[in-house]
Amino acid sequence: MEMKVIDHATCTFCGCVCDDIQLHADETRIHQAKKACVLGKAWFLNHTAERKYPDALIDGKEATVDEAIEAASEYLYQADMPLVYGMSNTTCEAQRQCVALADNLGALLDSHTSL
């Protein structure tokens, strides 16, 4: 199997966000994470490209992403005081969408920082 080498990969497991990691990966998993610390190594090596979980769950039952997006939107739309929370283990691009979501809904918006 062919190994892909990615220099200067970025680890987002902790706040240090090391950006000098060298990853050796094939199609499905990362085999080596050079220069990462113990935590970072475990983080990189534990993820695979396999389908480990169902695409979506509604009331604990498997559903498609489309159905789940529809259900989520309806719950948020019906709520009087929705809350948008978290945004830590995600990208800035997704965070911007979350701010727009809270703004649209007239919602509460908060992150881990408040802990």
Query: Of these partners, another protein, ligand SF4, none, which one is at the site of residue 1 (CB under 5 to 8 Å by kind)?
Result: none
C-alpha to C-alpha distances, 32 to 2, 5, 50, nearest whole angstrom:
14, 9, 17
Residues 107 and 76: their CA atoms lie apart, in Å, by 9
**Which of the listed partners (ligand SF4, another protein, none) does 39 bind, with a CB threshold of 5 to 8 Å by partner kind?**
ligand SF4
Q: Which of the listed partners (ligand SF4, another protein, none) does 68 bind, with a CB threshold of 5 to 8 Å by partner kind?
A: another protein
Question: Does residue 77 touch another protein according to CB under 8 A?
Answer: yes
> Which residue has tokens 């802990």?
115
From the CB of 20, what's the least distance to another protein, in Å? 10
* 75 part of the interface to another protein, by CB under 8 A: yes
Is the separation of the CB atoms in 72 and 56 below 8 Å? Answer: no
